């Protein structure tokens, strides 16, 4: 849940009643992106009053790794992309935020990342970009997603929240949230690449909304030959409606060239965000998301390729709390499935074990496809009183190893440091214990970061894993080579077994 109402948007007056889960909106009602963002702020305020954000700290010891750990060698840590698009009016040139990454399941040498470019502080970006490596992260080629926004010959004013997933035939799919600033139209767009991310087809709309309520989409592909839905592409997102903000789903059996009718996954009157679809080896589809009313991260399972879903199951209470001057997307869970064991993992930022008001990167595991979840485990192993915030965690899993990345930022007596690290840690026993933390790359300096109602590196970032290598991606703000206000580029690093 993104906590800051962006500057310049219309004011939305919201009356909040004391009964949990109820909210009544008073006129005038904002529309489009203004309504989506105002809703997030109102929900956050309501949860703070209920004591859910943040929660009281519960000091607890960390879990020290008891098993020998692999994945201790980092290589190819480097900048992989830079925003070179001409700036649009009101945007922040030379900024990249919110990167995601994936690997070809049949060729671990092929890696693709996507990211926003030219951040608009009122939401979205000039056009998302891509970066592709065909040698396991040693060298990279980069560019812009074609014919999506008006900046690159498309029809949309802005695009946001890019994510990427590979299909079983080596095709890469990039999903984005597209929307207009001159009217309320929004939609979920998918570009496909048939050459490992070097060139991309024009976008196909999986869904559109004339009221501009579409938000925070993700993508997954069924890569398992044993699945009855082998090759199916899923996109899930939330949509702000007058009656709620439910999770929606669309799927494609035509490699993204056409899409199914939109299906509502959660209740139509639910208030949700952050739908992460993950496919299990048997073809079951699980969607993980945040339920605002309960203050919990939950999951729902479909055993029939997304046609029907079971009831929502609690993963854990969400005790996230972003730094006061920074938007870090701590209410957006990351989710992954281990293709060799079928175990599922969810990671998020959380204050429950801290006594200093900062967050840990927590991980919960399910060994039954998301029907039940284990108690949250601290991935980071520093002291719970050291004042080190752990934000924007991401998780990947393969071969019984669980890989977690996160950003760290020190809290001091006078505020927070402008220096931000990028770190990686691994579990060799299926997420029960963690160790072997690595610092990846040079520091970020928030002095030159993009903004979104606060300093902004992105609401999420990505990590991908094969049996022998891990690829992390993040955005780094640093001193620009020439005098300018912003300088924020996309970086990646390879961790080898």
Rounded mean pLDDT, 30-51: 66
pLDDT of residue 22: 41
Structure tokens given for 184: 């309320």
Structure tokens given for 41: 């702020």
Model confidence over 192-233: pLDDT tens digits? Answer: 999 999 999 999 999 999 999 999 999 999 999 999 999 999
- What lies within 8 Å, CB to CB, of 124 at 6+ separation is 116, 157, 158, 159, 160, 177, 179
Rounded mean pLDDT, 368-373: 93
Whether residues 220 and 305 fall in one domain:
yes
pLDDT of residue 242: 85
Model confidence over 409-467: pLDDT tens digits? Answer: 999 888 899 999 999 999 999 999 999 999 999 999 999 999 998 999 999 999 999 99
Q: Which of 26-30, 32-36, 102-106 has the lowest mean pLDDT?
A: 26-30
pLDDT of residue 331: 82
Rounded mean pLDDT, 319-335: 91
Average pLDDT over the chain, rounded to whole? Answer: 89
Whether residues 127 and 192 fall in one domain:
yes
Give the sheet arrangement for strand 455-456, strand by strand: 326-327, 455-456, 450-451
Residue 440's nearest CA partner among 113, 63, 103, 79 is 79
User: Is 9's pLDDT higher than 70?
Assistant: no
Q: Could you tell me which residue, 129 or 268, shows the higher pLDDT? A: 129
User: Is 255's pLDDT higher than 60?
Assistant: yes
Question: Structural domain of residue 327, as residue ranges?
Answer: 60-496
> Pairing between strand 326-327 and 455-456?
parallel
Whether residues 31 and 129 fall in one domain:
no
441 and 420 Cβ atoms separated by less than 8 Å: no
- What lies within 8 Å, CB to CB, of 222 at 6+ separation is 168, 229, 230, 231, 232, 233, 234, 279, 283, 285
Whether residues 360 and 296 fall in one domain:
yes
40 and 12 Cβ atoms separated by less than 8 Å: no
pLDDT of residue 355: 87
User: Is 74's pLDDT higher than 90?
Assistant: yes
- What are the phi and psi torsion angles at 492 (to 5°)? -145, 160
Whether residues 31 and 106 fall in one domain:
no
Whether residues 145 and 219 fall in one domain:
yes
As for how many domains the chain has, the answer is: 2
- What are the phi and psi torsion angles at 362 (to 5°)? -100, 150
Whether residues 79 and 42 fall in one domain:
no
Determine what percent of the chain is predicted with pLDDT higher than 90. 79
Q: Could you tell me which residue, 55 or 333, shows the higher pLDDT? A: 333
Left (φ > 0), alpha (ψ -120 to 50) or beta: where does 196 sit? left
User: Is 20's pLDDT higher than 50?
Assistant: no
Cα gap 5→216, rounded to integer Å: 16
Whether residues 397 and 259 fall in one domain:
yes
Whether residues 35 and 76 fall in one domain:
no
Helices first, then strands: H and E counts in the chain = 1, 34
Whether residues 41 and 106 fall in one domain:
no
Give the domain-ending residue among 29, 51, 73: 51
CATH number of 69's domain: 2.120.10.10
Whether residues 162 and 20 fall in one domain:
no
Please report, for residues 126, 182, 284, 322, 384, the alpha-carbon distance to residue 147 in angstroms, rounded to integers and kept in the order given: 12, 18, 34, 35, 47
Whether residues 152 and 180 fall in one domain:
yes
Strand partners of residue 476: 489
Please report, for residues 149, 172, 361, 420, 427, the alpha-carbon distance to residue 380 in angstroms, rounded to integers and kept in the order given: 39, 31, 6, 15, 11
């Amino acid at each position: 849940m993104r906590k800051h109402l962006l500057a310049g948007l219309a004011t939305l007056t919201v009356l909040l009643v004391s009964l949990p889960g109820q909210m009544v909106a008073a006129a005038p009602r904002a529309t489009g992106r203004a309504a989506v963002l105002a809703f997030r702020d109102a929900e956050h305020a309501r949860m703070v009053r209920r004591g859910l954000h943040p929660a009281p700290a519960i000091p607890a010891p960390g879990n020290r790794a008891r098993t020998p750990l692999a994945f201790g060698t980092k290589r190819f840590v480097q900048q992989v992309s830079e925003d070179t698009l001409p700036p649009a009016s009101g945007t922040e040139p030379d900024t990249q935020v919110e990167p995601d990454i994936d690997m070809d399941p049949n060729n671990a040498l092929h890696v693709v990342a996507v990211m926003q470019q030219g951040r608009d502080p009122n939401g979205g970006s000039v056009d998302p970009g891509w970066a592709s490596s065909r040698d396991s992260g040693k060298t990279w080629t980069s560019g812009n997603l074609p014919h999506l926004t008006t900046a690159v010959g498309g029809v949309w004013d802005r695009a946001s929240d890019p994510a990427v997933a590979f299909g079983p035939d080596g095709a890469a799919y990039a999903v984005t949230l597209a929307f207009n600033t001159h009217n309320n139209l929004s939609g979920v767009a998918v570009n496909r690449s048939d050459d490992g991310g070097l060139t991309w087809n024009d976008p196909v709309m999986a869904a559109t909304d004339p009221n501009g309520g579409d938000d925070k989409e993700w993508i997954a592909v069924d890569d398992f030959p044993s699945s009855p839905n082998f090759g199916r592409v899923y996109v899930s997102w939330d949509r702000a409606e007058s009656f709620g903000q439910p999770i929606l789903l669309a799927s494609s059996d035509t490699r993204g060239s056409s899409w199914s009718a939109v299906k509502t996954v959660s209740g139509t009157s639910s208030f949700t965000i952050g739908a992460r679809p993950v496919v299990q080896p048997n073809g079951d589809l699980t969607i993980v998301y945040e339920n605002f009313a309960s203050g919990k991260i939950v999951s729902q399972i479909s055993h029939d390729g997304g046609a029907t879903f079971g009831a929502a199951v609690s993963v854990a209470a969400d005790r996230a709390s972003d730094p006061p001057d920074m938007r870090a997307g701590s209410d957006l869970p990351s989710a992954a499935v281990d293709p060799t064991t079928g175990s599922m993992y969810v990671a998020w930022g959380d204050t429950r074990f801290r006594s200093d008001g900062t967050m840990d990167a927590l991980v919960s595991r399910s060994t039954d496809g998301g029907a039940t979840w284990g108690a949250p485990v601290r991935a980071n192993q520093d002291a719970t009183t050291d004042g080190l915030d752990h934000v924007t965690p991401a998780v990947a899993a393969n071969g019984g190893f669980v890989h977690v990345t996160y950003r760290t930022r020190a809290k001091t007596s006078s505020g927070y440091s402008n220096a931000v690290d990028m770190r990686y840690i691994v579990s060799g026993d299926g997420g029960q214990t963690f160790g072997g933390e690595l610092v990846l790359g040079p520091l970020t300096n928030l002095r030159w970061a993009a903004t979104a109602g606060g300093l902004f590196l992105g609401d999420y970032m990505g990590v991908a894993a094969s049996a022998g290598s891990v690829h992390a991606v993040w955005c780094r703000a640093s001193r620009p080579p020439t005098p300018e206000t912003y300088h924020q580029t996309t970086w990646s690093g390879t961790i080898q077994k």
